[in-house]
Amino acid sequence: MKRKWFLSLLGFSLIGATSLFQVHAREVVTKDIRVWAQKIIQEEKTLKTTPARNTLAVPYFHNKTGQKELDPLQKGISLMLTTDLSKLKEFQVLERVKFQALMEELGLGVSGLIDQDTAPRVGRFLGVHWMIGGNINQGREERIQIQSYPLDVTTQNILGQPMTEGYLSDLFQMEKDLLFQIVRVLKIELTPEQERELRKPFSTNLNALMALSRGIESSDRGDYKKAADYYEKALSLDPNIMVAREALQELRDLRLFTERKRSREVLRSLRDRSSVTDQITPEDSTKRERKPSTIPAEGIQTYYP
């Protein structure tokens, strides 16, 4: 009987220890998550100082291009990297909502942006070994540059500066380029199966990603109706963008917005669809993308009020 009780207690302890990390995607910062963030800050002096080496968080990327219309990519790029890194059994990746709640409690704003000076402290709060943040910079001509700064929280050392540059229309391929550079910096040897899985594009539609990112930002602000509208828009542009589908379902499950008939129809029409994205190779997605010269300057804002 005592052994049974001990095993049950151990099970609950393990659940508590891993609940910070991404087992399933959540995009709503709920009251219990905010309470967790408040408690972590209050107990800063007693926090464990040696997190497991396989734990990491992906902070939002700073948009330093001066182009405000690219702000949604601050969370969008982080979301893509988080989704991909979560596929690797070598890592436990922190849930985005935990990071968001902590940033707000630390007074760093709704956007949750941190810099290299505050990253070590944030990493200790989150109990992670690695912080994989970075910047979105203006590149040559009309290109953008995405640069990451993989930080070892325990030593406060930055291990390399993975960087990729390209046109906005090449964003999904740029993310893959950055991803594999980060994997090499972290000295992870991929199996052929893992590499094939990581090369599957998050989406092939830039406007769908922008709508999803705006939906997440609206959700973080507590505007769940607008978040649902953006998630529906993302799904209408790319029915296989799974994060948008799961986020919309989460809002339904939590009853955070008044569901309209259109929402039910969108979810029902998507439920049994097979994923076209899973069947697309990186080469295919590149062929399907429009060239920069064919994209109007306001193109990525077309679908937003």
User: pLDDT tens digits, residue range 55-94?
Assistant: 999 999 999 999 999 999 999 999 999 999 999 998 999 9
Q: Please state the pTM of the whole predicted model.
A: 0.78
Does residue 273 carry a pLDDT above 80? Answer: no
pLDDT interval class at 51 (50, 70, 90) = confident
Residue with tokens 């542009």: 237
Where is mean pLDDT largest: 38-47, 214-223, 284-293? 214-223
Question: How many CA atoms are closer than 13 Å to the CA of 34, on its beta-carbon side?
Answer: 10
d(C-alpha 244, C-alpha 233), whole Å:
9
Does residue 105 carry a pLDDT above 60? Answer: yes
The predicted pLDDT at position 98 comes to: 92
Please, what is the end-to-end C-alpha distance for the chain in angstroms?
62
Name the average pLDDT for the chain: 81
d(C-alpha 158, C-alpha 247), whole Å:
33
The predicted pLDDT at position 45 comes to: 76
Instruction: Quote the DSSP letter at residue 190.
Output: P
The predicted pLDDT at position 261 comes to: 57
Does residue 299 carry a pLDDT above 60? Answer: no
Q: How many residues does the chain have?
A: 305
Per-residue tokens: 124: 């200790």
Does residue 297 carry a pLDDT above 50? Answer: no
Residue 190 burial (CB count, 10 A): 15
Does residue 233 carry a pLDDT above 80? Answer: yes
Distances (CA, A) of 273 to 14, 120, 242, 244: 35, 43, 11, 14
The predicted pLDDT at position 112 comes to: 67
Contact 41/77 with Cβ under 8 angstroms?
Answer: no
Does residue 259 carry a pLDDT above 80? Answer: no
d(C-alpha 174, C-alpha 168), whole Å:
9
Average confidence (pLDDT) over 20-35: 80
Does residue 274 carry a pLDDT above 80? Answer: no
pLDDT interval class at 16 (50, 70, 90) = very low
* 223 CB burial (10 A radius; 0-12, 13-18, 19+): middle
Q: Which residue has the higher pLDDT, 265 or 168?
A: 168
**With pLDDT > 90 as the criterion, what percentage of the chain qualifies?**
58
Average confidence (pLDDT) over 124-144: 92
Average confidence (pLDDT) over 8-35: 61
The predicted pLDDT at position 298 comes to: 42
DSSP letters spanning 200-258: S-S-S-HHHHHHHHHHHHHHHTT-HHHHHHHHHHHHHH-TT-HHHHHHHHHHHHHT-S-
**With pLDDT > 70 as the criterion, what percentage of the chain qualifies?**
75
Question: How many CA atoms are closer than 13 Å to the CA of 102, on its beta-carbon side?
Answer: 27
pLDDT interval class at 262 (50, 70, 90) = low
d(C-alpha 266, C-alpha 166), whole Å:
34
User: pLDDT tens digits, residue range 149-203?
Assistant: 999 998 889 988 999 999 999 999 999 999 999 999 999 999 999 999 999 999 9
Distances (CA, A) of 4 to 9, 12, 14, 175: 9, 13, 15, 47
Pairing of strands 55-57, 92-93: parallel
* 165 CB burial (10 A radius; 0-12, 13-18, 19+): middle
d(C-alpha 232, C-alpha 237), whole Å:
9
* 45 CB burial (10 A radius; 0-12, 13-18, 19+): exposed
Instruction: Quote the DSSP letter at residue 299.
Output: G
